[in-house]
Amino acid sequence: MRRRRTLRARWPAAIAALPLLASALAGCGSSSSGGPVTMNWYNFPDDSGALQQAAERCSHASKGQYQIRYNKLPRTADGQRQQLVRRLAAHDAGVDIMGLDVTWPAEFAEAGWVREWTGALKARATADTLKAAVQTATWKDRLYAVPYNSNTQLLWYRDDLVPVPPKSWAEMLAQADALAKAGKPHYVEIQGAQYEGLTVWFNTLVTSAGGSILTPDAQAPSLGAPAVVAAGIMRATARSAAADPSLSNQMEDENRLAMESGTAAFELNYPFVYPSMKANQPKLFQHFRWAPYPGVTAGRPATVTIGGIDLAVGAYSKHPDLAFQATLCLRNRDNQLTNALKGGLPPSLRSLYQAAELTKSYPFAADVLNALDTASVRPRTPAYQNVSIALAHTLSPPAGIQPESTVSDLRGQIEDALGSKGLIP
C-alpha cells in the first residue's frame, strides 16, 4: 500500500523533471512498465559537466527507453574500486554501467562482475578504437569493457632552457646536469611517491627497454635484464642533480606545481598540465613545449603506459541490453569530443585526433596519438592491485633502489601477489 503510493508519487515528479521526455512517454504506452528504465552509471567524479551532459544527451536520444543517472564515485582510484567492489560483491542490481580504471577489467571479469561484449556490440565497441585501449579491456581474449577515455604521458620542457628535447633518459639527465652546473632550473619532474604512479614509471621503462613485468600468460613475473636497466635508470635519476628534493613524495599534481613554480626544466606528465600552465603561468607558458617521452636506449622510442577509463556493463544489471546500448552512446564521437574539450581527457577514438575542434585546443594531439599507438599496457591480471602495491612498495624510495637485488625482491613479491598469498603493506 505504502509502496504503491510512493511509486505513484514518483511518476509526476519524474515527468515534471523531464519535460523533454514527456511527449515520448505519452506516446509510448506499449512498453511494459510504461516509462523509461533508470540506468545507473557509476563513474569518476567529473567537475567539468561533460559526463552529466553525455548522460542527458543519451537519455534523450533513447526516446524514452532509458534515463541515465550519473553517480559520482569517490575521487581516488582506490575509493572508486572499493565502492564498486562492495556493490558487486553484494550483487547490487543497481550497477548498470561503470567506469573502470584500465587496470581493473581483468579483475572484474575474472570475478564475474561484468558482462562480455560479443558479436555486433563488440564490433561497434572496437571500431576506430585505439588498439592499446582495447587491450586494456580484454581479458583471456574476450572483451569485457569498452574504452571511454585514454591518457598517456609526454615530455614537457622549457625551450628557454632546453633548445633540443632529449631523446633518451641518459641524454635528459646529462642536460639536467649541465643546467645545474650553470645554476639554472634543472629538475626532472616525475612521479616518485609510493603509489600507482611509481608503478607506471617502472612499467614504461621496463617495456621501453624491451621487457615486461609479467609473462604474456600473466602467470609469473618476467622482469629480467630490461627490469634491471629500468631500475638502474630510476636510481640514477633519483641520485642525480635532476632529482627534485621531494621526488619520493611527488605525484602528478606536485610535478605540475613544481614546473609551474619555475624550478624544473623537464616534466613527464599527462596533458592536463598544458591548460593549467596556460592559466596559471602565462609567462612560462610561452616557453612550454612538448616532445615524445624519452626512450631507454637511443634509437628506440619509448612505449609509454596507457591510462584511462573503460566502461563495463554490470553482471547483475536488470537491463543488460539497454545498458550495452547506453554505454555505446556514452562513448560515441560527440560525447568523447565534449569530454576531451571540457574535461581535457584524450579520447579513445582514433579519428577524433584529426578533428579540427580537438587539435585547436590540443596542439599536441598528434604526439598523444603517436604515444597511444605505441603505448604499453600495465600487467593484465586479476591480482593487479596486489602486484602494483608490491611494486610501488619495493621501488620506493627510488634513490634506495639496488637494481639487481631490488629486481630479485620484486620477483618473489610478484609471485606472492599473483598467488594472493601473504599481506599487502
Partner 1 sequence: MSTSAKAAAGHGRAELSEGARQERRLGLLLCAPAVIVMVAVTAYPIAYAVYLSLQRYDLRFPAQAKWVGFGNYGAVLSSPFWWQALWVTALITVVSVAIELVLGMALALVMHRAVFGRGTVRTAVLIPYGIVTVVAAYSWQYAWTPGTGYLAALLPAGSAPLTDQWQAIGLIILAEVWKTTPFMALLLLAGLALVPGETVRAAMVDGATFWQRLRLVILPLMKPAILVALLFRTLDAFRIFDNIYVLTGGSNDTGSVSILGYDNLFTALNLGIGSAISMLIFLCVAVLAFIFIKIFGAAAPGGEPERR
Site residues for partner 1 per CB under 8 A: 78, 81-82, 85, 89, 107, 110-111, 193-195, 245-246, 248-249, 257, 382, 385-386, 389, 420-425
Distance CA 108, CA 113 (A): 5
Q: 258 or 302, CB closer to partner 1?
A: 258
Return the number of the residue (56 or 78) whose C-beta is nearest partner 1. 78
Quote the least distance from Cβ 87 to partner 1, whole Å. Answer: 12
Q: Which helix (H) or strand (E) holds 111?
A: none
DSSP state of 288: E
Distance CA 331, CA 336 (A): 6
Q: Indicate the burial class of 268 (C-beta count within 10 angstroms; 0-12, 13-18, 19 or more).
A: buried
User: Can you say how many angstroms the Cα of residue 113 is from the centroid of all Cα atoms in its chain?
Assistant: 20
Instruction: Pick between residue 129 and residue 386 the one whose CB is nearest to partner 1.
Output: 386
- Nearest distance, CB of residue 45 and partner 1, angstroms: 18
What are the distances in angstroms from CA 74 to CA 43, 84, 171, 183?
9, 10, 40, 43
CB 41 to partner 1: min, Å: 22
Sequence length of the chain is 425
The least distance separating partner 1 from the CB of residue 297, rounded to whole angstroms, comes to 33
Tell the smallest beta-carbon distance from residue 383 to partner 1 (Å). 9
Nearer to partner 1, 206 or 218 (CB): 218
Whole-angstrom distance between the N-terminal and C-terminal Cα of the chain?
52
How far apart are CB 117 and partner 1 at their closest, in Å?
21
Q: Which is nearer to partner 1, 66 or 384 (CB)?
A: 384
- Which CB atom, from 61 or from 424, has the smaller least distance to partner 1? 424
Before 397, cis peptide (omega within 30)?
A: yes
For the bound state, the minimum distance from the C-beta of residue 89 to partner 1, rounded and expressed in Å, comes to: 5
CB of 358 to partner 1, least distance (A): 33
Please, which residue, 46 or 196, has the CB nearer to partner 1? 196
Nearer to partner 1, 171 or 415 (CB): 415
d(CA 161, CA 159): 5
| DSSP state string for 32-66 | TTSSPEEEEEEE---SSSHHHHHHHHHHHHTTTSE
Is 390:417 a contact under the CB 8 Å cutoff? yes
C-alpha cell at 36: 523509461
Closest CB 74 distance from partner 1, rounded Å:
12
CA distances from 240 to 98, 188, 247, 407 (A): 43, 10, 11, 21
Which residue lies nearer to partner 1 by CB, 299 or 425?
425
Q: How far apart are CA 162 and CA 81, in angstroms?
A: 40
Cα(61)–Cα(313) distance, integer angstroms: 19
Minimum distance from CB of 248 to partner 1 (Å)?
8
C-alpha cell of residue 191: 612521479
Cell (9 digits) for 291: 616532445
CB of 256 to partner 1, least distance (A): 12
Classify 174 in phi/psi space as left (phi over 0), alpha (psi -120 to 50) or beta: alpha
Neighbouring C-beta atoms of residue 141, cutoff 10 Å:
5
* Residue (354 or 402) nearer to partner 1, CB: 402
Q: How far is Cα 417 from Cα 164, in angstroms, rounded to an integer? A: 42
Query: Which residues make beta-bridge pairs with 146?
Result: 311
Amino acid at 43: N
Looking at the Cβ atoms of 163 and 425, the one nearer to partner 1 is 425
